[in-house]
Chain A
Amino acid sequence: MITAPLNILLVEDNPDHAELVRRHLQNLPVTCRVSQVEDGEAALDFIFGRGAAADRARFPLPDLVLLDLRLPRLDGMEVLRQIKNQPGLRRLPVVMLTTSDAERDMAKAYEFSAHGFLTKPVDFHRFVELFKELGFLPAAPTRPQA
């Protein structure tokens, strides 16, 4: 179990959806420090450590990026592509948040090697599974949560 708090970047423009994600993250056995941005440009700024998020001390490189597909200013797919084009950021786990009937989006996301996707509204279980997959949680079974 990772003791240091996880830095999670949440890229979501809908405040309600963002709130839902936050709540789930709070319930995880891992301490998560969630930073939220609401558009693609800001997301890239945060990840690349430029623009408004240039201060790496305050805005460290996140351990995980939860990326909504439909964003203003820069589309989620585009954000993903730009992240993955950076050799240094290839390892950065990026998980897409998407509505369920976006099969096309899924294929594309995998094409751009996102680590996975979560369908909104996200089930808590899925978060747990995801975190286990990403190694943020130990693989030992945790108590099942409703």
Chain B
Amino acid sequence: MPLKPVGIQKRTVTAILGTALLAFIVFGLGLILYWNSLAPARVEQFLAPYAEMITAGTAVDAADALRAQAILNSLKSNSQILRADIILPDGRSLASYPPTGSPLSPAACQRPDGIYFVSGNAELVQTLAAGGTKPAHLFIRLSLASMHQRERQTLAEISAAVGVVLIVIVLLQFVLLQRWVLSPLAQLAGIAESAGRHGDYSRRMPAHDEDEFGQLGKSFNALLAMVEQREAALRQLTNFQRAILSDAAYAIISTDLTGLITSLNPAAEKLLGMRAAELIGKATPELFHSAPEVAARAVKLSAQLGVAVPAGFEAFVAEARRGQRSEAEWTYVRPDGSQVPVRLSVTALRDERGGIFGFLGMVADITEHKQAEQALREREAKYRQLFENMTTGFALHEVICDEAGRPVDYRYLEINPAFERLTGVVAGRLLGRTVREAMPGTEKYWIETFGKVALTGVPIAYENYSVELGKHFDTWAFSPKPGQFAVVFSDVTVRKRTEESLLESRRLYAELVSSLPLGVYRVVKEDTRFAFEYVSERFCELTGTDRAAVLTDAAAAFNIIHPEEREQFERLNADAVQQQAAFVWEGRAIVRGQTRWLHIESRPTLLPNRPPFWTGVVFDVSERQNVEEALRQNHSLLEGTLEATADGILAVSAAGKITSYNRQFVELWRVPREILDRHDTATLAEYILQQLSQPAAMQKRFRQFNDTAKADTFDTLEFADGRIFERFSRPQLVDDRVVGRVWSFRDVTTRHWAVTSLRESEHKFKTLFETANDAILIMNEKVFLDCNRMAEVIYGSPREKILGESPVQFSPERQADGVLSAEKAAEKIRSALAGNPQFFEWIHARGDGTLFNAEVSLNRLELRGQTVVQAIVRDITARKQAEAAQHEAEELYRTLVNTSPDGITVLDMEGRVQFSSPKALELFYGTAEVASNLGRNALEFVSEEDHGRAAELLRGALAGKFPTNQRLSMRRADGGKFVAELNGTLLRDGLGVPRGVMLIVRDVTDRQRQDDEIKNKNQELERFTYTVSHDLKSPLITIKGFAGALMTDLLAGRTNRLNEDLKRIILAADKMSELLNGLLELSRIGRIVNPPTEVPMDRLARDVIEMLSGTIQQKQARITVQPDLPVICGDPQRLSEVLQNLLENALKFSRAGVPPEIAIGTELICDEKVFFVRDNGPGIEPRHHAAIFGLFNKLDARSEGTGIGLALVQRIVEHHGGRIWVESQGPGTGTTFYFNLPFRAASSDTKTSAKP
């Protein structure tokens, strides 16, 4: 037995020890107390002897101190006694022990008798009996120390002993406790623990004793046993439960109150497709429900329970919560989206108090169930459908029996629509009611019969006829279930009727057979022999046989066949039988000694399970045969005829079938054999029609014939290949009845064409004749025979008036050439008739006498066998007028062209000259007397520089686009150039086709020059204005600036610069004035007042030199003038200014320290005399050569002068038609100004001589 009762043992031990200790302590204390309490007694006891001794010993009379002392000394033996004193009443110490001790305090004895414990001593005070008034006191001080010590020792011993005892007791107690209490307890605890903690309920308490422990043990055991049992039961239950949960087919889901899932069995996991772990504690069932369903149910529950049920978990548990059965069908939605129909029943989980702590849901997958339901529904539906739609009536009834069990009534349970239809009784009237109620007239017989069926289960079938309904019914009654019978019936009225009519037919048939002129028979082949099953009377008549004989032996009938035909007959017979086909035979038979023609025909009837039999007829066709023979003869005659004729013949029956045709037909139509063999009119017709040129029209005509069946028809057929047939058809009549039609065809191609072409040409001629725009007249030698409409118009006379007249009637007496019309006409006509076509102009006269010009053409013509003259007459008056007008226009045009001040040229589409007006010739050649410039390319006359542009313009012109007033530089034949302004137009001919370009050329050289000059002048003006504004601005700026400075200075009180500044201002103003003067002078050049005169340049030079003599002298310059300077035509004053300026400049701009040397003369430059003024000054850099002529340009700003000198000079020179330029290499090379004055006076040539 493992001892493990830790706690309790400890506690017990502690308790026991504690108790022991406590006891010990209590004992100890008690002992001490007791001891202490006994202490005085003990002391007394101790002391008493001594006291007594002393007392006895001292029967004092109080004076025996020695005795007393001796007694007291005897106390020495007890070391404990510290002091003893006998105190006299007066306080004196009689005796004291130790003798040398200190006196006792009197107070010590004044205490009452007793023992006092003072400071660890016991003090005895006793009154000594003495005879005296006052007793003496005995005082003994006893040291308690040793006593105490002894006491302590004793106590200790006792304590020890007691302790030991106690310990022993404790141990013993302990052991006993252990044995009796602790051990069992521990055991108990152990068992309890093993049961409780480890679930081991197997151990039991040893419980033999009858004491409490034993009882406890027993009880505990019992408890354990019970627990064990319960456990087992529980385990079982749990296993059971688990088994249910795990293996149940049902999904079991439990939730807590809020709906959170608390458990989930495997079936649930499978159903939901989610794992328990995913759901337990994490979700509510709403997760896998379809929300709309939940909402719907909530609504329904709300209505049902009368409380608002929210759409959520509550919808599942509302009923369960109220203790109601909760079972509903839902649709679960798996995570993959698939849906499962389920039935969920929910119960509330209650604890012992009945409170709900959760809900348990059991879910069954009802997919199959639903499917089964569905199948069932479908089957139901099918059954229903059948029930509703079947044509046989059906009714289900329940038999009602009396007490004896006999059927007395039956109730209608189900009735189908066919029932209603067939009986005419509405189901509503019967359902749920009994037959006696609904149809009281029903016979008992029926109730009994049906009742029998229902009770016995034996079905019955019968046929009955309902008088009310007038129908026959075929009925069958059976019992599907005991106590019930069903009736199924169909309307067989029709069948019945059919049966009856069949019987009727048979009867009629028999009647017929007997009344027909035909013999009727029925024969069957049994094995090898024939046998007649039936022969009619007529049969026997016709065949001359005996009925009975024939029926017995078929040979009796067969024998009548003519011997010659027998073989064939039998063969046919055999074939028919073998093929089970119809049998037809016509032939001779010997009937009653006569040869008659019989027609025998039979058809087989094939029935299953029966040998075939032939039903046939026999009739006498002798008559017909004769007729046929005659017919055949006719036929052969016909055929012969047909074949003999040259025409193609085709006979078609009224039905549209080909009955006959001849060889000729086949050949004519080239019909292939197979089509004919087919005897198919349709195909033949198609084949025929195909060949025609207008099959559709022909087809229509054929159809028409069908309507006019009796008419003869005649037609011409045109073939696509050009053949022409004549077709004649006639109905085939038999006794006035149309049985067909006969067609005959004849090939008339050649004849037809001849006729046709003739007619055609006639027609053409006629058309032409009538519609011609010209008058056409037919005449013989003398008169008009015919004329067309136009002739009437031209001659202004109606046809009647023209025909028969001579053309002379419609002419003036004489023609334009004076010849008599009659003569001339006759001559012309004759010539025409002789075969010479005539074409001439003629003056005709209209019916009203007005004349008109005509163009006449005469031709000989053969017309309808006659030789005639065809005259075509055209009124050309209009044309003549047009010609005259044109002539006029041409004249006008020519005049225009020749007199225009501008040159007019016409170019062809290649740019070659086709025509040049005289002026144009003048322009290009200088004279109009030019042989011809036709064919020359126009571009030849354009200067090179404008060639490109000219070519482009030409192209544009030819395309119809020519911008106006184009200026080109043109080149004359002599090489000279001029500027021409051109305008061009595209020329088109009468048809609108471009045929050339007309150019108008104007010499605008002068204008060009003028234009150029204007442009130049404008540019110059611009430059001028710009330059002036700038150059005048400069001094202005100076003035304004210094004025400002002056003001500033004055304001500031500065006067030091006043003078200077003012001077500057004045100078600037002067400058401006100078500039303006120069300008004025320059402008005057434009308005030269002096007319040009002859100016001898040498004299001019000399004058100028003289004018500048002062400066010349000052500068010590040397001027040389070439002799023989030419005489110039110009303004002398201006020319003087030129020289003056040039000279002045030369003098001004001289090199420092070098006296100027200036030369004036002329040079021959490019065959022209050019003036020059040369100096030896500093020269002008080439880059300034152009600039120096600019207005106000001064190379040196500080120099004197306005800077307009050279500009002026240039102006003047240019005005005289010349040019001025400067030549100078640069610094130190001198400068030469060149200028030419081209307008030389006539006289100059003689004077001047060429200069090298």
Contacts and interface: CB of A to CB of B under 8 A. Distances in A.
Contact of A17 (B1037, B1196, B1198): B1037
A20 B1197 contact: no
Nearest to B1193: A72
Given A16-B1042, A16-B1068, A99 B1048 contact: no
B1029 A20 contact: no
B1033 interface: yes
A121 B1037 contact: yes
Contact of A121 (B1044, B1051, B1198): B1044
B1239 to A, nearest CB: 36
A19 B1064 CA distance: 10
B1041 A13 contact: no
A108 to B, nearest CB: 14
A70 B1042 contact: no
B1045 interface: yes
Given A20-B1045, A72-B1197, A99 B1068 contact: no
A21 to B, nearest CB: 9
A16 B1197 contact: no
A14 B1041 contact: no
B326 interface: no
Nearest to B1040: A121
Given A121-B1037, A121-B1040, A23 B1045 contact: yes
A101 interface: yes
Nearest to A21: B1041
B12 interface: no
B1037 A120 contact: yes
Given A14-B1197, A16-B1068, A146 B1038 contact: no
Interface string B1196-1216: 111000000000000000000
A99 B1037 contact: yes
Contacts of A23: 1045
Contacts of B1195: 72
Residue with the greatest number of chain B CB neighbours at <10 A, chosen from A19, A70, A101, A146: A19
B1030 interface: yes
A20 B1033 CA distance: 15
Given A23-B1045, A121-B1041, A13 B1033 contact: no
B1034 A17 contact: yes
Contacts of A99: 1029-1030, 1033-1034, 1037
A19 B1029 CA distance: 22
Contacts of B1030: 70, 99
Contact of B1041 (A100, A120, A146): A120
B1064 A146 contact: no
B1034 A20 contact: no
Contact of A20 (B1041, B1051, B1196): B1041
Contacts of B1037: 14, 16-17, 20, 99, 120-121
A10 to B, nearest CB: 14
Contacts of A16: 1037-1038, 1041-1042, 1064, 1068
Contacts of A100: 1033
Contacts of B1196: 72
Main secondary structure of the interface of B (DSSP, over half): helix
Nearest to A71: B1197
A124 B1195 CA distance: 31
Interface string B881-921: 00000000000000000000000000000000000000000
Contacts, number: 51
Interface string B382-408: 000000000000000000000000000
B1198 to A, nearest CB: 8
A15 B1198 CA distance: 9
A101 B1041 contact: no
Interface in A79-131: 99-101, 120-124
Interface string A52-81: 000000000000000000101000000000
Contacts of A14: 1034, 1037-1038, 1197
A69 to B, nearest CB: 9
Contact of A101 (B1029, B1038, B1044): B1029
A13 B1197 contact: yes
Interface in B1015-1072: 1029-1030, 1033-1034, 1037-1038, 1040-1042, 1044-1045, 1047-1048, 1051, 1064, 1068
A19 B1068 CA distance: 13
A125 B834 CA distance: 123
A146 B1046 CA distance: 12
Nearest to B1057: A23
A72 B1195 CA distance: 7
B1038 A17 contact: yes
B1026 to A, nearest CB: 9
Interface in B1072-1124: none
A103 to B, nearest CB: 12
Which of B1029, B1041, B1048 has the largest count of A CB atoms less than 10 A from its CB? B1041
Nearest to A122: B1041
- The residue in A17, A20, A70, A123 that gathers the most chain B C-beta atoms within 10 A of its C-beta is A20
B1055 to A, nearest CB: 15
Contacts of A38: 1197
A101 B1041 CA distance: 17
A121 B1039 CA distance: 9
Interface in B486-520: none
Contacts of A17: 1034, 1037-1038, 1041
Nearest to A104: B1026
B407 to A, nearest CB: 133
Contacts of B1041: 16-17, 20, 120-122
A15 B1068 CA distance: 11
B546 to A, nearest CB: 150
Nearest to A124: B1048
Contacts of B1045: 20, 23
Contact of B1042 (A13, A20, A122, A123): A20
A123 B1044 CA distance: 9
Contacts of B1047: 146
A14 B1029 CA distance: 16
A122 B1068 CA distance: 17
Nearest to A70: B1030
A51 B1069 CA distance: 37
A20 to B, nearest CB: 4
Contacts of B1029: 99, 101
Nearest to A13: B1197
B1051 A146 contact: yes
A38 B1196 CA distance: 11
A121 B1064 CA distance: 14
Nearest to B1064: A16
Q: Which of A15, A16, A123, A146 has the most CB of B within 10 A?
A: A16
Contacts of B1051: 146
B1188 to A, nearest CB: 11
Nearest to A15: B1198
Interface string B857-900: 00000000000000000000000000000000000000000000
Interface in A5-41: 13-17, 19-20, 23, 38
A135 B1038 CA distance: 29
A70 B1031 CA distance: 10
7 contacts: A14-B1037, A19-B1064, A20-B1038, A70-B1030, A99-B1029, A120-B1041, A123-B1044
Given A14-B1037, A17-B1041, A20-B1042, 20 more contacts: A13-B1197, A16-B1038, A16-B1042, A16-B1064, A16-B1068, A17-B1037, A17-B1038, A19-B1042, A20-B1037, A20-B1044, A99-B1034, A99-B1037, A100-B1033, A101-B1029, A101-B1033, A120-B1041, A121-B1038, A121-B1041, A122-B1041, A146-B1047
Interface of B: 1029-1030, 1033-1034, 1037-1038, 1040-1042, 1044-1045, 1047-1048, 1051, 1064, 1068, 1195-1198
| Closest CB pairs A-B (n = 6) | A121-B1041, A16-B1038, A20-B1041, A99-B1033, A120-B1037, A121-B1040
